[in-house]
Amino acid sequence: MKSLSGALVDWYRAVKRDLPWRRTRDPYAIWVSEIMLQQTRVAVVVPYWERWMERFPSAAALAGAELDDVLAAWSGLGYYGRARNLHRGAREVVARYAGRLPDTAGELRSLPGVGRYTAGAIASMAYGRREPLVDGNVARVLARLFAVEEDVKSATGQKRLWQLAGDLVPADTPGDFNQALMELGATVCTPAAPRCPACPLVAHCLARQAGREGELPRMPGRMRDADKPVLRAAAAWIERGGRFLLARRTPEGLFGGLWELPQAASRAQLARILAGFGLAWRSPAIPVHRHRQVLSHRRLAIDVYAAAAAGRLVGVRRAGPYERAAWHSPASLAGLGLAAASRAVVERYREQDGWSKARQPSRSSPRGTRRSSKG
């Protein structure tokens, strides 16, 4: 085990990618990077992380920010529950730990959104603790290296992988070793066509020796897009004076804290929500736009109805799933945490120079998002 770990760390130090969060041992900076990297490609994360650290350079700075500003900075990364948990977690760090993340995995796991993997990453990389971690890349490397037969996402498979990771992580270089496992999975031991000749552990790999690197790891079948349940909604496009109406969801649940076009399961229910904001609205029978989007565990089918509304908007008042509503211009969207579906609708509106030129309902090209169950 020791020779295997040493060979992997030596390889990592020689070939590792130069990523900005690898140039620091600041636990807050590492925490942010690990949350951003969940279900998101490294190339996408780098500019977001750099902008985030400039805007919120410490847990105290993040804790003092408004949720709207936090979600706006996160906008485009998806899975906004991660941003909400970072915000909540920063406030707990300030309240409970004087602004500095705790240095043990157990205490780290008490923070919102910090599970076993993230706690192990922060504890090992920032504090040099001998803590293992297992993510998708690490699971693939270990499953091939030790010919793990269990489904890597099953309880039995996870127990086996965490045991292996814990046995392997060295006491003297736990942070580099954990990053080396992830680097190997991301750049060499890839899901398809692994580059076995370039692997520093090829001599130890049981899957390679048996010619089974293409069979392992064993994974559960992925749900086909066509089999995913459809979340249908009717959305209102209401304009006044060059601005249109957006509503912000309450912080909890799917899409919590995000702004979006007001929407509900039916036009009648949507009209009742708008009445709660002081607006009398009657939708036309035909939508001006149909947005379709595939998420990880569901599909979105949002029909957009454009019509005027009478009445005076009550800006701060809970109605349905929303805690407030406000008029926004297209130019103001950069400062909002705006749901991806509503952003796509606004982009289509701009492309068409308004809905008046749309003779028939249009449909968005299906857009897939990264796979996650979180909003």
Q: Point out the residues that are catalytic.
A: 34
- What share of residues in the chain are helix, strand, coil (percent, to 5)? 45, 15, 40
Closest among 132, 136, 137, 117 to 189, alpha carbons compared: 137
Rounded-to-integer distance, Cα 308 and Cα 305, Å: 10
Closest among 195, 193, 146 to 167, alpha carbons compared: 146
Rounded-to-integer distance, Cα 358 and Cα 342, Å: 18
Helices (H), 246-304: 267-276
Phi, psi of 368 (to 5 degrees): -85, 145
Q: What angle do CA 223, 229, 232 make, to 5 degrees?
A: 145
22 secondary structure, DSSP code: G
Phi, psi of 316 (to 5 degrees): -120, 100
Strand pairing partners for 260? 247
For residue 365 the two structure tokens come to 């090209």
CB 59 within 8 A of CB 101: yes
